[in-house]
Amino acid sequence: MFGGLFVEYVDYMLESEDSDNEVLGDWGEVEAILEETVHRDKVRVSERVRQVYDELESRREVFEDNRDEIEQRIKNHESRLENAQRKDEQPVREKLMQLRDLKLQERKQYWRDVQDLKEELRVLLEKLDELDDSSFEEFFTG
């Protein structure tokens, strides 16, 4: 994760003619910078996790509202179909088919959206685990 940063810093320190004590002091600064970077990453990833949970909830609410509206329109058209004269049935049947297709499409889109958000959530949670497991002691004790 921070390999490039370490390589550059080690190269710099090897070229430097500073004493070992100064080098150890510099490693402490590097450790502090890395810990701060990890902390900022944790905050950023945690915030995105919260946003994904909010998006999941929001998407569920939108889906339920859309589904309820479509179901109401279906009921209205079913009622119209029952009361329609024979010659007027076909347009109502076609509209019912369209509404049922729309309901199915809405359900499929909701499922895809949820799967995408859950995948993003899995990746974010893995990233948080990696950040929690980050320990720089092994680099600074030696």
Calculate the alpha carbon distances from 6 to 15, 100, 130 in Å. Answer: 14, 59, 18
* Cα gap 141→9, rounded to integer Å: 16
DSSP assignments along 77-137, one per residue: HHHHHHHS-GGGHHHHHHHHHHHHHHHHHHHHHHHHHHHHHHHHHHHHHHHHHHHHH---H
Which tens digits make up the pLDDT trace of 53-107?
999 999 999 999 999 999 999 999 999 988 888 888 899 999 999 999 999 999 9
Which tens digits make up the pLDDT trace of 18-52?
545 454 557 778 788 888 888 999 999 999 999 99
* Cα gap 16→27, rounded to integer Å: 13
Residues comprising the chain, all counted: 142
Cα angle for residues 18, 32, 121 (degrees, 5° grid): 140
Burial class of residue 57, CB neighbours in 10 A (0-12, 13-18, 19+): exposed
| pTM for this entry | 0.67
